[in-house]
């Protein structure tokens, strides 16, 4: 099988994150400065390299190559240092940039056709870490004409063994701790860059709750059983690249130029009342209260995404791309139980 380099474009994320104090989930402040860059990366990628996957083998960046990696370049190792990178055989369609000039090599004359960014709170260390680690899979990633891009295939399972950390995820309409929290922001940013380029989406699914980092009907949730599947219907190669700078995730799409441009609009169609409150009877409530609201009710929503198509700034058409339902959330209320 053909071997291609697993590039580390999102390594720049940790360079940016290390410019200010970072706290992990226990509130322990990490050192700032360039030294912590390699310690964070070593933690992530040495953990990833411990996975026993017959399709994967690992090597690294060192010295001058490490500098290129932190700057967001694609590069290959000179001496096999195990710190910064990994190579991987790709058993599915799609390839990544393979040279020190990966930015130019990966694009191969294609033009920049779209870009989309979302922001995150970089003080939440574990979630920021997961975002950068997931983005590292998209280093000038090439999708051939009539080929599919499966987010789950490219990124792989989000497990602790592969370097992902515990952060909040949405499950059944509530936020709970889960391995890989934050990765949905990566899939969402990729989705929006892809549709801004006018490319086809084969499967996308909304979260059960609206997301803070994008408008309704613009999110793309992923999990072990939910995928984001994109299809290149442009008739030529498309290249996608992810970067993380400071608190911003950006996906850029490169392809052949088109006379069309697109604008997307979220329309809210309906507000859904939340379910009846969930009452929890307890023997004691802090402050000796009789009743306490633990979490508030949230309305649900029905929304749709409308695409406006333009040629030379003149709108020539519009269509509904998708329609989504975000469930309402019941309030949780504790009530002191009177025991005679």
199 in the same domain as 92: yes
Q: What is the DSSP letter of 155?
A: H
Number of structural domains (the chain) is: 2
Residue of 43, 61, 49, 52 lying closest to 7 (CA atoms)? 61
116 in the same domain as 43: yes
313 in the same domain as 200: no
114 in the same domain as 9: yes
Burial of 249 (0-12, 13-18, 19+ CB in 10 A): buried
Q: Give the three-state DSSP class for 219.
A: coil
The residue segments making up the domain with residue 178 are: 3-258
d(CA 20, CA 16): 8
3-state helix, strand, coil in the chain (%, to 5): 20, 35, 45
134 in the same domain as 106: yes
Phi/psi region, residue 288 (left: phi>0; alpha: psi -120 to 50; beta: rest), is left
> Domain boundary residue among 258, 291, 325?
258
Residue 265 structure tokens: 């609009």
179 in the same domain as 309: no
pLDDT for res 206: 95
228 in the same domain as 200: yes
pLDDT for res 151: 97
pLDDT for res 122: 87
234 in the same domain as 292: no
d(CA 119, CA 134): 15
pLDDT for res 89: 25
112 in the same domain as 190: yes
276 in the same domain as 209: no
149 in the same domain as 42: yes
d(CA 22, CA 247): 12
Residue 323: CATH number of its domain = 2.20.230
135 in the same domain as 104: yes
pTM (global) more than 0.85: no
Whether the CB-CB separation of 57 and 43 falls below 8 Å is answered with no
> Domain boundary residue among 232, 258, 284?
258
Whether the CB-CB separation of 239 and 143 falls below 8 Å is answered with yes
Beta bridge partners of 21: none
Whether the CB-CB separation of 12 and 243 falls below 8 Å is answered with yes
> Domain boundary residue among 258, 281, 312?
258
Residues of the chain with pLDDT under 50: 1-102, 105
Whether the CB-CB separation of 195 and 321 falls below 8 Å is answered with yes
Whether the CB-CB separation of 135 and 220 falls below 8 Å is answered with no
């Amino acid at each position: 099988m053909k071997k291609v380099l697993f590039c580390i474009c999102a390594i720049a994320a940790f360079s940016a994150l290390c410019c200010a104090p970072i706290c992990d989930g226990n509130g322990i402040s990490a050192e700032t400065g360039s030294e912590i860059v390699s310690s964070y990366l070593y933690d992530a990628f040495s953990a990833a390299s411990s996975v026993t996957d017959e399709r994967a083998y690992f090597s690294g960046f060192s010295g001058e190559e490490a500098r290129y990696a932190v700057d967001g370049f694609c590069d290959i190792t000179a001496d096999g240092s195990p710190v910064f990178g990994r190579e991987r055989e790709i058993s599915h369609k799609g390839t990544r940039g393979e040279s020190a000039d990966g930015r130019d090599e990966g694009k191969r004359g294609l033009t920049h056709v779209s870009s989309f960014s979302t922001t995150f709170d970089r003080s939440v260390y574990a979630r920021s870490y997961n975002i950068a680690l997931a983005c590292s899979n998209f280093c000038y990633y090439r999708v051939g004409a009539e080929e599919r891009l499966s987010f789950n295939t490219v990124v792989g399972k989000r497990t602790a063994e592969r370097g992902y950390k515990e952060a909040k995820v949405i499950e059944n309409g509530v936020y709970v701790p889960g391995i890989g929290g934050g990765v949905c922001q990566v899939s969402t940013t990729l989705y929006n860059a892809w549709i801004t380029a006018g490319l086809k989406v084969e499967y996308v699914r909304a979260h059960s709750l609206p997301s803070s980092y994008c408008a309704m009907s613009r999110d793309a949730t992923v999990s072990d059983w939910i995928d984001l599947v994109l299809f290149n219907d442009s008739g030529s190669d498309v290249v996608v690249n992810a970067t993380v700078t400071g608190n911003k995730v950006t996906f850029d799409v490169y392809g052949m130029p088109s006379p069309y441009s697109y604008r997307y609009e979220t329309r809210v169609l309906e507000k859904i009342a939340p379910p009846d409150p969930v009452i929890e009877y307890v023997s004691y409530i802090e402050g000796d209260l009789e009743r306490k609201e633990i979490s508030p009710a949230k309305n649900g929503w029905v929304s749709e995404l409308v695409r406006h198509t333009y040629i030379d700034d003149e709108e020539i058409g519009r269509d509904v791309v998708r329609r989504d339902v975000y469930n309402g959330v019941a309030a949780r209320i504790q009530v002191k139980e009177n025991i005679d």
